[in-house]
Chain A
Amino acid sequence: MVELRGAVALLGNFPALAGIDLSIDATEIVLIQGPNGAGKTTLLQLCAGLLRPAGGDVVVLGHDLARERRAVRRQVALLGHSTCLYGDLTAAENITFWAKAAGLTGTDVHSRFASAAELMGLDQRLLARTVNVLSAGQRRRTSIAALAVRRPELWLLDEPHAGLDQAGRDAVDSIITDAVGAGATVLVSSHELDRVRSLSPRVVTIAAGMVVADSVHNSHTTRGSGEPGGAPNA
């Protein structure tokens, strides 16, 4: 599903990822943790096909990202620090636009829109408001709903619980478990370790652009960055 071997990514001339080895199977939920500036966001952007690998091999959903970044993008949802919403459009118009931009048409848009909006707790009153007047948490919910309508094969979530109230956090957890139930894979970068660990036994720790630990938190068995692709320990 996701294979990185000696992956290097540059931000300008700075190697934000300095040779990452990581293997993630389908339907896995993997927590990416590490200090600020460790390279977590860069790793997610690389897996989304936003960055071109500067070295090593990166294969996502069967596509080599050195050559086929665009083929990956339509099957990936990246929730970053920005919401990617248009302030002068309503929440409903934003969700519909991003659904159509991802190639959905007609009844697919309507049915998926309804389920995503319900899951994220977006009622009709809120959906009818322009994004400019929504709170930060409501924008975040709208942004997640806009990703959920696409039903991607790979979710890349950067601090998905940030700025959300309890109901919103629960909704994000539901989206993650539903996505995995439907066959998707989820990478979550978060500082809320306890919350994400309740969803995922596997924790990958990054520091200075390198994987320094790859463990299953129940037994805290470390796989180490030198063993990419090894089966998680129970």
Chain B
Amino acid sequence: MRELLIDARLIAIKDLRIEARSRVLLNQVAPFALLVLVLFGFALDADQRTLRSFAPGLFWVAVLLAALLAVQRSTSLERADDAQTGLRLSGMAPSSVFLGKAAAVFLQLAVLEVLLTIGIVVLYGSQVDDPVLLILTAATAAVAVAATGTLYGALASGLGARETLLPILLLPVLAPVLIGATRSFDDALGTAAVDGWAWLGLLAVFGLVATALGALAHGAMIEN
């Protein structure tokens, strides 16, 4: 177990160091996510009151679209120059690689969520009624998206037309996260009378299952 966590930490630090140096998240993914929020505003042609009521859903659609880019970037790091073969030959447990890569994606999504939260407050005039629920929902949903995305990224990387395949594979699977996180945010932002904590529980279960499944299945994905 200790070795698994040490190796996962090594992978996560490697991915985050590459991200810090290449700045793909800050220079490309984050502006894209903020742009999506702005375009939603244009498309809905609505006043702030309407945008406020739609803010939770728009927030999570923006997160999922940005997550696709983050996952594709994470997967491409291992495809470039066949580093994935090096990882297979290193003798590292595939579950370590999965956990490390998912952790790096999770941290990047957390940064994105902070920026997007500022975005909906500034652009849509949203107000946070329950900051604890908001933070826990954002963190739990990020775990679910990072774990599922990393697993499906590995699956798509072994198939043809991987760049276009990933969204088709991943987005339907993440539909429960979109629904649960949106409902929970409805409660946290005070836009609808729902029990956000119950939806947070659903997200937590999804996140746990995705992480466990990913840790178990990642080896088969990269081997085959």
Q: Tell me the A residues contacting B by CB distance below 8 Å.
A: 48-50, 70, 73-74, 76-78, 80, 82-89, 93, 97-98, 100-103, 130
Question: How close is A7's CB to chain B, nearest CB, in angstroms?
Answer: 19
Select A84's contact among B7, B17, B82, B92, beta carbons within 8 Å.
Answer: B82
In the complex, per-residue mask of B16-49: 1 if CB is within 8 Å of any chain A CB, else 0: 0110011000000000000000000000000000
Instruction: Given A84-B81, A85-B81, A100-B10, check contact A78 B17 (CB 8 Å).
Output: no
Size range of the interface on B? Answer: 20 to 34
Q: Tell me the B residues contacting A by CB distance below 8 Å.
A: 3, 7, 10, 14, 17-18, 21-22, 77, 80-83, 85-92
Q: Determine the distance from Cα of A48 to Cα of B89 in the docked complex, in whole angstroms.
A: 8
Q: Give the residues in chain A near B18, CB-CB below 8 Å.
A: 86, 88-89
Q: Give the residues in chain B near A86, CB-CB below 8 Å.
A: 14, 18, 77, 80-81, 83
Q: Give the residues in chain B near A88, CB-CB below 8 Å.
A: 17-18, 21-22
Select B85's contact among A84, A87, A89, A103, beta carbons within 8 Å.
Answer: A84
- Say whether B83 contacts A84, CB under 8 Å: yes
Question: How close is A136's CB to chain B, nearest CB, in angstroms?
Answer: 11
Chain A residue nearest to B80 (CB atoms) is A87
Known: A89-B21, A101-B7. 14 other contacts (CB 8 A): A49-B89, A50-B85, A50-B88, A70-B91, A73-B88, A73-B89, A85-B81, A86-B18, A97-B14, A98-B86, A101-B90, A102-B91, A103-B3, A130-B21
Q: Give the residues in chain B near A87, CB-CB below 8 Å.
A: 80-81
Q: Give the residues in chain B near A78, CB-CB below 8 Å.
A: 85, 89
Q: Give the residues in chain A near B10, CB-CB below 8 Å.
A: 97, 100-101
Q: Give the residues in chain B near A84, CB-CB below 8 Å.
A: 81-83, 85-86
Question: How close is A173's CB to chain B, nearest CB, in angstroms?
Answer: 23
Q: Give the residues in chain A near B88, CB-CB below 8 Å.
A: 50, 73
Instruction: Given A74-B91, A88-B21, A98-B90, check contact A82 B85 (CB 8 Å).
Output: yes
**Would you give 16 A-B contacts (Cβ < 8 Å), ordered by A?**
A77-B89, A80-B82, A82-B81, A82-B82, A82-B85, A84-B81, A84-B85, A85-B83, A86-B18, A86-B80, A88-B21, A89-B18, A101-B90, A102-B90, A102-B91, A130-B21
Q: Give the residues in chain B near A48, CB-CB below 8 Å.
A: 89
Q: Determine the distance from Cα of A82 to Cα of B88 in the docked complex, in whole angstroms.
A: 14
